[in-house]
A and B are shown apart, each in its own frame.
Chain A
């Protein structure tokens, strides 16, 4: 639990991660945070302070759509769902990310 790696995640990266975890299906805000936390082997922790502004931004961009549903605890809650535009955006971002990490790795290897 001692997630010392509470690195200030660049908001761009957070958006990409959100889109990525939504690829499997619609989730509500808490579940998004949880999933990122779990999938990162509990290294990354999403602050609510950045999650909700990020979600609002993604909504405005039209990458996700939101609809109200019933949570597992039987509460009304908003589920976020990837749109086609979001899927495209995610693919583009992943491509960019791969290219940059490859480049960084290449430097680290040779320099």
Chain B
């Protein structure tokens, strides 16, 4: 240890130490001279000093310093090359940094809460079943009995109406300990306190989110203490959450925070605190006791679940257990996410590969102009290793600058992305140490990848360069080919998603969600509400028909998918008249009638997949084919495919059942209008809320949901095309450089051939022949790689086969055109050389 310190001290004071060493030697020499020993005896003083201070062990750092200074000077001497190189590489690194930054922000970076590592999210799991949320009474049971959990938090979202406005505001009902547990007590006013806000009869309170406070109250601090009306119920504003408060990382910042125990006050009829069925489920988090592992907590909770089953058998599934995932992070990586992450990772790495091989080509081409300098350095006695090191140092310098620029680019990309998706303010895209480390490592690896081959090539005794040039071309073409194919596939799939017919008329429909379940409606009360609402809505002028379904089209709500089949089946509960209202064509059989129970209507593609080549009418249908005792349905009708769940659902394997007791409180009303649906929105809202003033129905146009879907899809397609385009651009630039280099090396040969009377076309052919094989290998290899990845792609793409011929042929065709152009331009230029001048110059 002491020695290391001394070494460091020597490094920091090396100038002084050198001077002192020199003084000492001068003295020694003087003494020698005085004693009559010849001066020569002392030897080469400089060498002696070098050898002495080599002992300090820092020569490599000094050499590196020299190399860096020299490299810097070399790069400054050809600024256009340096800038081009840095830009090319910065694109490659920047794309990677942006992708990693996103991953970092969602998965690696903890939320801005106190002690994020002891937070876990708890979800219900049983064989074949899963639910992300837990009934509140069960949560209370776990909270009261678990010894491994230091505290338990819960949260659920529900819209409320502020004052007299008609626009619903997102509200998050949370347990009162949440702010304290997450260490977010620094906002304006006070935070919820279990002692003050949970007891029965506690005064109703609300906290504002920072953003809502800014936008709605102009950041006025006097809002604390004011009484506001939410769902027509008065409540006191006790505080404003801190600006960077993330809650538990749920997307979309709410406008209001309200204690969960006060939900029944604000949402009339809500039974969330006592309901043990699916309707009463809220999201559950816990903070582990110190030193307790999530696994140990799961073990204890498993025992508690058994206990809970004894007390309230209905609220627990067979073989149910609670599973935990890290709660202090925005997103935990699930198995389903892995293909997507791998795909994006591969794509951005491919762009980096293209950038690197591109830059390698540039370095190689530039090496020609430097060969003179390199041979001088060889002549001066520099070893090959030393020159390679010098060249690599230059690459390293370029990479360092590119990595710095890449961090900036990545940050900008993330900023743009976050503003596009209206991210909450606590989501911070600023690069942290992980991102910087990642960029540094990427740059380092890149510098070796693009720098080593040219450096070895340039210093090799026999300098033909053909082999490494061919390798570079093959790599570039293959990588760009994969990128283009994948981009093409993505664009095709996304195009399919939006261009494909949704299967219903979304232009003329209003979706009304009275949210009956949240207000504690039973099947009977829901039936009477829905009947009244339907009757009154039908009387509105301009309304042509009214339908009912449990699954609002494209609403991403109440999506139930049936397992047991090798594909998902999406179940909606509907009422007679639904298909007419939606404009879904009936192909065969009949519509539902009142009194149907076990009759179902299926979509065309579901019929085709379950009974290929058979007539589906009258077929018996098991809800769960693995369980012969499960309910049996009879198909009475077949309707056209309609993408009810999402536009990404290409198969539209839809199953329609008539509504039952369980589904009635979840129904939404579909109102079909003659003219523009927005003209009727207010009237529809008035009608549906006048039936029960405790309800606050939301009304929106179905085409809004449709536009949202299209918007997301278009953004995705744009990103994919941008990635493909940047790869192609990089590849084109790189090829241009490589061919130009090859031509410049052969200028003399071309001149001689032309002087001897060779035909120009022959010369061009001979020139370009060397590129044919690597280009072909690159194209074939790229297409092969893309095909190999198509298994992975299949899981992400919808509606398009991973081997879509249009995408493959398009990519190969486009690349061939670009390559031909990139090769032709410099070749043509070479033919223009004045043969005599070239030869005379030699």
Contacts and interface: CB of A to CB of B under 8 A. Distances in A.
A49 B48 contact: yes
A106 interface: no
A71 B27 contact: yes
A56 B53 contact: yes
Specify which of B7, B55, B57 lies most central, judged by the most chain A CB atoms within 10 Å of its CB: B55
A9 B540 CA distance: 112
Interface stretch (B16-24, B105-113, B166-174, B506-514): B16-24
Given A29-B24, A76-B23, A77-B24, A53 B31 contact: no
Contacts of B53: 56
B381 interface: no
Given A29-B28, A49-B51, A60 B10 contact: yes
Contacts of A30: 27-28, 31-32
B25 interface: yes
B3 interface: yes
Contacts of A53: 51-52, 54-55
A5 to B, nearest CB: 16
A62 B27 contact: no
A59 B57 CA distance: 13
A26 to B, nearest CB: 14
Looking at chain A's contact residues, is the secondary structure mostly helix, strand, loop, or mixed?
A: helix
A47 interface: yes
B7 to A, nearest CB: 6
Contacts, number: 64
Contact of B3 (A33, A62, A76): A62
Interface residues of B, number: 28
A78 B19 CA distance: 12
Contacts of B10: 60
B217 interface: no
Contacts of A48: 25, 28, 42-43, 48
**Contact size range, A:** 20 to 34
A52 B3 contact: no
Contact of A60 (B25, B34, B56): B56
B6 interface: yes
B2 interface: yes
Contacts of B43: 47-49
A73 interface: yes
A61 interface: yes
17 contacts: A28-B24, A29-B24, A48-B25, A52-B21, A52-B24, A53-B52, A53-B55, A56-B53, A59-B6, A60-B7, A60-B56, A60-B57, A61-B3, A62-B6, A77-B23, A77-B24, A78-B24
Given A52-B52, A56-B53, 20 more contacts: A28-B24, A29-B27, A29-B28, A30-B27, A48-B25, A48-B43, A48-B48, A49-B43, A52-B24, A53-B52, A53-B54, A53-B55, A55-B52, A60-B3, A60-B7, A61-B3, A62-B6, A71-B27, A76-B23, A77-B23
Interface of A: 28-30, 33, 47-49, 52-53, 55-57, 59-62, 71, 73, 75-78
